[in-house]
Amino acid sequence: MKNLSLIMFCFLLLGNCAAAAAVSSNDLIAKAHIYDGRTIEFTGEVVGDVMIRGDFAWLNINDGAQAIGVWTNKQAAEKISYVGDYTHIGDTVKVAGQFHRACPQHGGDLDIHATEILISKQGHKVKHTVNNYKFAMTVILLLAIVAVSVWSPIKKPK
């Protein structure tokens, strides 16, 4: 009986450790039934937009594989300085919260309701440089079009 109690205690301990463990988006999606309702930790870049909805907000956080929606309070969302898009790398955030396979509050969305959001790395602007080869190619093609336009092929006499 003592052994059984010890085994059960170990299982509970393991369960709690797993509940707080960091999980990837691929794992959350592939094993949604396992993580459903559990407290998880998810890290990734905030992408797209911070969508404020009343006292709350939606963030979409991409860990490099998939982006997952995070429902959080407005104050936490307003701390985000950069969101990822063509000209920015978004803030990297560590989210702790409850994972839902099919959230009853949000029409069955797979999402995370955040209890804590920590900015682990601030985002920044991205500079896209112009490729000189592409510029040269554009000029060559323009000249080629002019050449084709003025060229009239010699017709063979029938």
How far apart, in Å, are the Cα atoms of 63 and each of 24, 103, 131? Answer: 7, 21, 29
Q: In the numeric block, which tokens belong to residue 129?
A: 């440089």
Does position 80 bind other proteins by CB under 8 A?
A: no
Compute the least distance from the CB of residue 148 to other proteins, in Å. 5
- Among the listed ranges 2-10, 13-21, 112-120, 141-149, the one in contact with other proteins (CB under 8 A) is 141-149
Q: Report how many residues bind other proteins under the rule CB under 8 A.
A: 49
Q: Which helix (H) or strand (E) holds 105?
A: none
Please check whether residue 38 is in contact with residue 98, taking contact to mean a CB–CB distance below 8 angstroms: yes
- Among the listed ranges 5-13, 16-24, 105-113, 116-124, the one in contact with other proteins (CB under 8 A) is 105-113
Q: Which helix (H) or strand (E) holds 65?
A: none
Does position 62 bind other proteins by CB under 8 A?
A: yes
Q: Is 54 left (phi over 0), alpha (psi -120 to 50) or beta?
A: left
Q: Which residues bind other proteins (CB under 8 A)?
A: 29-30, 32-33, 47-53, 57-58, 60, 62, 66-67, 69, 71, 84-86, 101-104, 106-111, 128-131, 134-135, 137-138, 141-142, 144-145, 148-149, 151-153
